[in-house]
Structure formats: C-alpha cells, structure tokens
C-alpha cells in the first residue's frame, strides 16, 4: 500500500447554523480541519497508508483531533502532543448573496510554535510516495519556513514526491512575504496546486493577454511556471465561478506534460459546505497520480471529488473511490433505491 505524508496545521472549526449570525448564535457545530489533514483523510479514504504530521495540545481538543483522524483512517504516529492551544476559527455560514465569514483565533497554536528538533523527517518520510504541504504553514512562522524547507529537501533526498498547494491567504501575510517564502520551496516540488493569481502575484509572471480565454491564459501561466521550475511535473487548479455562497460552478484543470486537461463544469447548488473543496480536489489529483490514471479521467475524478465535498458538512471528503466513480457515471441527483 502506498504511503502519503502530509504536514500542516489542523484547527478546530466552530460553525453556526445556517441563517444565524455568530454574534447572536447559541449553538456551534464542531469540526476539525486543515488543508493538509483534509488531504490525508481523503487519501486514507481512497485506501492509502496516510500520516498526518502536526502538533496539537495535550487536552480534550487535541484528543478530539486524534479521534477525527483515526475515525477517518489516518495514522497519528507522528502527531506531536503539547504546546499551548489548538488553533481555532469560527465560521459564520453564508447563504445566497451573503458570504460565509471566518473569524480566526489561531495565534499561539501548538502547531505554530513547533520547533525543528521536534520532528525527524528522515524517519517520517521513509518509504513515503508523496509528501504534501501548503503555503499556509509557511505563513505561520520563520521557524516553520525553515522546517518545511528542510523537510522537502529530505523528501527529495529520499525520493519522495513533493506536493505543494500555494493556498495563499491574504489575512495571514502579504504577497511579498508569501513570494519570498514560497520561492525557495518550489525547486523541490513535483506536484503543484496553483492558479492564475498565484502566478501573477506570487511568481511575478506577466499577465496573460486579456483577449485570451480562461483556458489559454492558464496554459500560458503553467508554461511560464514550468520554465521557471522545470521540476514541477504536474500543476492543477480549479476555475470557480461564484454565483453566490449557495451556488458555484467548478471546473478542474490538470497540466501534465505540457498539456491542459479539463473536467466538465459542475453546477453546485445548493452548496452545503465549501470549506475543504480545494483539498478534496488536491487529494483527487494525488490519488489519480498514485494510480497512474489517464489525465482526463484523473481531472474528472478530482473535480467530482471536490463537487461531492461541497454537498456535505465538515472540512473533509468522506467519499470512496467507488462512490466518486459511480457519481461520474450516473450523473447527478437521481435517487438510488
């Protein structure tokens, strides 16, 4: 069984009922989530041997994280325990024209204060096939930036493929800071989740011609990135058309061997919960690569996985490969009985 390791922060998410404001809520729903944990969970659900590397406090919330990961089949052998607190965010669920709203309370988290000597990536990454990280971790501290750099170097040395998701969050850092932190990582990356905005604002690639369509523009950016970082064999992203908080269209893009493959456009309405939609897509890409799926099927699979994620609560995808494949075949919405 192939082995996947992901490294990043997992947070407590506390979300309101639909149609309620956080400031007047009485009840909150608890979920645990974070990009890298979500990817680990999705890949465990697809049958891989997955490890989530992180740090959570030694309290009931840290224990809750473990239950969540175990229940979803992810190993916590390299999940550290200790530190001050679990990063937390409050999600005011959006609806229609009203956007969801996130209130972060993630500072001073156990993960953000992790130090290099706490983790032995040599041991962690042994025999791994893929090591997945994201830009969010780089944003959290100087020390984490160094740690990630060492980890990806170790990965390359051990022959582990490195998957990197840009995941730029404007609330965490500026574009300049992000660019400075991401660039040293990219020469070690094999699989990369990034899109047009990342190319322009973080990699300083000149804007594509405005008369080009979406697809042409994306090919242009991916070619440019490939020129800069020929080591990046796979690039992936989604086009998301946000009609409202309850209605998005989603199309997946996969760039492989100089060619762009696109999924059909999923019309997602109503959106039950879009948090984690990008992670479900990234997981689908990794799954397809691990299985040497043909590119067109691969991007169809990853996008379908993402679309399905939007229909359930919680950050992580809970669908098996069989369910996703059947979903692609059966079309949408018919009752199965």
Contacts to a copy of itself from residues 240-299, by CB under 8 A: 242-248, 266-275
Nearest to a copy of itself of 14, 300 (CB atom): 14
Per CB under 8 A, contacts with a copy of itself among 296-335 are 307-308, 310-313, 318, 327, 330, 332-335
Which residues make Cβ contacts (< 8 Å) with residue 213, sequence separation at least 6? none
Using CB under 8 A as the binding criterion, the count of chain residues that bind a copy of itself stands at 80
What ranges in 112-238 are assigned the alpha helix state H? 121-124, 135-140, 142-157, 175-182, 196-197, 214-228
Binding positions for a copy of itself, 50-89, rule CB under 8 A: 59-61, 63-64, 67-68, 70-73, 84-86, 88-89
Q: Which is nearer to a copy of itself, 90 or 229 (CB)?
A: 90
- Smallest gap from Cβ 51 to a copy of itself, in A, equals 15
Nearest to a copy of itself of 100, 187 (CB atom): 100
- Nearest CA among 32, 40, 57, 56 for reference residue 5: 40
39-41-46-47 Cα dihedral, nearest 10 degrees: 120
How distant, in Å, are the alpha carbons of 8, 26, 30, 101 from that of 21? 29, 10, 16, 9
Q: Which is nearer to a copy of itself, 186 or 305 (CB)?
A: 305
DSSP string, 241-261: EEEETTEEEEEEEEEETTEEE
> Which span sits near a copy of itself by CB under 8 A: 103-111, 142-150, 214-222, 280-288?
103-111
Give the nearest distance from C-beta 228 to a copy of itself in angstroms.
28
In sequence order, the 6+-apart residues with CB closer than 8 A to the CB of 211 are none
Query: 209 or 337, CB closer to a copy of itself?
Result: 337
Residue closer to a copy of itself by CB (options 108, 212) is 108
Considering only residues 24, 209, 227, 258, which one is a binding residue for a copy of itself as defined by CB under 8 A?
24
81 CB-side CA count, 13 A: 11
Distance of closest approach, residue 251 Cβ to a copy of itself, in angstroms: 14
Could you tell me how many residues make up the chain? Answer: 337
133 or 307, CB closer to a copy of itself? 307
Q: Which is nearer to a copy of itself, 88 or 153 (CB)?
A: 88
* Position 2 contacts a copy of itself (CB under 8 A): no
Least distance CB 328 / a copy of itself (angstroms): 10
**Cα 13 from Cα 191, distance rounded (Å):** 28
Distance from C-alpha of 326 to C-alpha of 56, rounded to nearest angstrom: 37
Establish whether the linkage from the previous residue to 218 is cis, with ω within 30° of 0: no
Region from 34-42, 96-104, 118-126, 194-202 binding a copy of itself, contact rule CB under 8 A: 96-104
Q: How far apart are CA 242 and CA 208, in angstroms?
A: 22
d(CA 28, CA 136): 25
| Cβ proximity to a copy of itself, 126 vs 269, nearer residue | 269
Give the residue, chosen from 47, 81, 101, 321, that forms a contact with a copy of itself under the rule CB under 8 A: 101
Q: Which of residues 115-144 bind a copy of itself (CB under 8 A)?
A: none
Give the separation between CA 220 and CA 222, rounded to whole angstroms. 6
3-class secondary-structure state, position 238? strand
**Candidate segments 13-21, 118-126, 175-183, 225-233, binder of a copy of itself by CB under 8 A:** 13-21
Q: Which of 2, 49, 81, 100 binds a copy of itself (CB under 8 A)?
A: 100
- Residue numbers 159-188 binding a copy of itself by CB under 8 A: 169, 171
Place of tokens 């850092």: 173
């Amino acid at each position: 069984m192939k082995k996947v390791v992901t490294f990043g922060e997992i947070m407590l998410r506390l979300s309101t009922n639909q149609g309620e404001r956080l400031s007047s809520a009485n009840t909150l729903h608890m979920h645990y989530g974070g990009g890298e944990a979500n990817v680990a969970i999705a890949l465990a659900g697809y049958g891989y041997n997955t490890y989530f590397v992180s740090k959570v406090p030694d309290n009931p919330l840290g224990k809750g994280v473990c239950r969540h990961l175990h229940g979803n089949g992810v190993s916590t052998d390299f999940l550290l325990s200790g530190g001050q607190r679990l990063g937390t965010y409050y999600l005011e669920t959006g609806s229609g024209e009203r956007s969801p709203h996130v209130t972060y309370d993630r500072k001073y988290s156990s993960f953000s204060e992790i130090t290099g000597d706490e983790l032995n990536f040599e041991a962690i990454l042994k025999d791994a096939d893929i090591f997945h990280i994201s830009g969010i971790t780089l944003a959290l501290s100087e020390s984490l930036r160094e740690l990630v750099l060492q980890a990806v170097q170790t990965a390359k040395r051990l022959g582990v493929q490195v998957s990197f998701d840009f995941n730029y969050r404007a609330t965490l850092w500026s574009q300049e800071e992000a660019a400075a932190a991401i660039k040293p990582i990219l020469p070690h990356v094999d699989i990369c989740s990034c899109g047009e905005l990342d190319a322009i604002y973080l990699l300083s690639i000149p804007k594509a011609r405005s008369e080009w369509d979406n697809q042409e523009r994306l090919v242009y950016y991916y070619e440019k990135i490939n020129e800069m970082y020929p080591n990046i064999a796979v690039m992936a992203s989604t086009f998301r058309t946000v009609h409202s908080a309850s209605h998005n269209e989603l199309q997946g893009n996969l760039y492989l061997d100089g060619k762009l493959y696109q999924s059909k456009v999923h019309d997602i309405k109503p959106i039950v919960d879009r948090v984690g939609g990008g992670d479900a897509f990234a997981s689908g890409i990794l799954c397809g690569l691990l299985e040497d799926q043909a590119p067109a099927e691969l991007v169809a699979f990853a996008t379908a996985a993402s679309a399905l994620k939007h229909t359930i609560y919680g950050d992580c995808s809970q669908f098996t490969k069989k369910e996703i494949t059947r979903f692609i075949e059966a079309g949408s919405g018919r009752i199965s009985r």
